[in-house]
Amino acid sequence: MSYNNILVTKADGIATVTINRPEKLNALNKATIGELNDAFAALDADDSVRVVIVTGSGEKAFVAGADISEFANFSVAEGAELAAQGQELLFDFVENMKTPVIAAVNGFALGGGLELAMSCHFRIASDNAKMGLPEVSLGVIPGYGGTQRLPQLVGKGKAMEMIMTAGMISADEAKACGLVNHVVPQAELLDFCHGIAQKIMKNSPYAIGKAIVAVNANFRDGVNGFKTEIKSFGECFGSDDFKEGTTAFLEKRKASFTGK
C-alpha cells in the first residue's frame, strides 16, 4: 500500500512508520491520521511484524503538533468531533494494538505529536528532543488524549504544570519524570530502538499482546485490572506459545514462538 504522508518499511520482523511531512515539521492533519490508522491496522494484522517503531522524517521533528490551519474556524461541535475521531482512529488505536509500538522521538514532539508518542507503548528520545503540550497558548486544550495520558505517565502535578505553562521540556527532563524510557544521541536513536525491539522479539507475541491488554486495563474506568490480568493469564494457557515456551524451558532450548 502506498501513502502520501507516511513511509512504511519492514525488515526482519520490525516495521518502521515514518511520518513524512518535513515541510510541515511532520504536523498531523486528517489525511495523515487516516493513513496512520490504515498502516497501523495492516501492521497489527501482519503476523510477520513483531514490533513497530514510529518516528518523524528529518532531524528537527517527530511531530511538531496538529495542522492548525485545518481547524482554526471549527465550531464547538466540529471541534468535539475532531477530537473524538482522532482518538478513535489513531491514539486509542495505537495504545490498544497487540503489537508493541515504540515511539522514536527524534526532535520536537509537541501537541498532537506528544500525544501520539504517549499513545505508544513506550518512548525513546534523541538528546535534542523537546516535548510539550502548548494547546492552551492557542485557547484550546489537548484533545487527543493528552490530559489523560500525561498525568498517567508523569503524575498529576507535573502534567498540570506542563499543560498550564504550555512550555517544553528537554529529553533529559522527560526521562527524569518518566515520560521517556531512554535518551540517546540522535544518530543512534533508530539503532537503539532496534536493539530493544530485538529483545522484545525473543518473547511470545501472544503473551505480549495479553500483557498490553492487562496493563491498559488498569487505566480504564470501571474495569478491574486484576480481573483482566487473571483472564489474560488464563488465556495464555490455551496458546501454542505457552506450550512452546514451557516445553523449550524444560528441554533447555530457545523457544520458537508463532504468536498463536
Q: Return the SS3 of 54.
A: strand
Q: Is 165 exposed, middle or buried (0-12, 13-18, 19+ CB in 10 A)?
A: middle
At 101, give phi and psi (nearest 5°): -120, 120
Question: DSSP character for 91?
Answer: I
Long-range contacts of 17-23 (CB under 8 A, 24+ apart): 17/43, 17/52, 17/53, 17/54, 17/55, 18/54, 18/55, 18/56, 18/57, 19/54, 19/55, 19/56, 19/57, 19/62, 19/63, 20/57, 21/57, 22/57, 22/58, 22/60, 22/61
Positions marked active-site:
115, 135
Please give the Cα distance from 162 to 158 (Å, whole number).
6
User: Which grid coordinates are listed for 105?
Assistant: 522521538
- The Cα-based distances of 231 to 99, 195, 214 in angstroms read 19, 31, 9
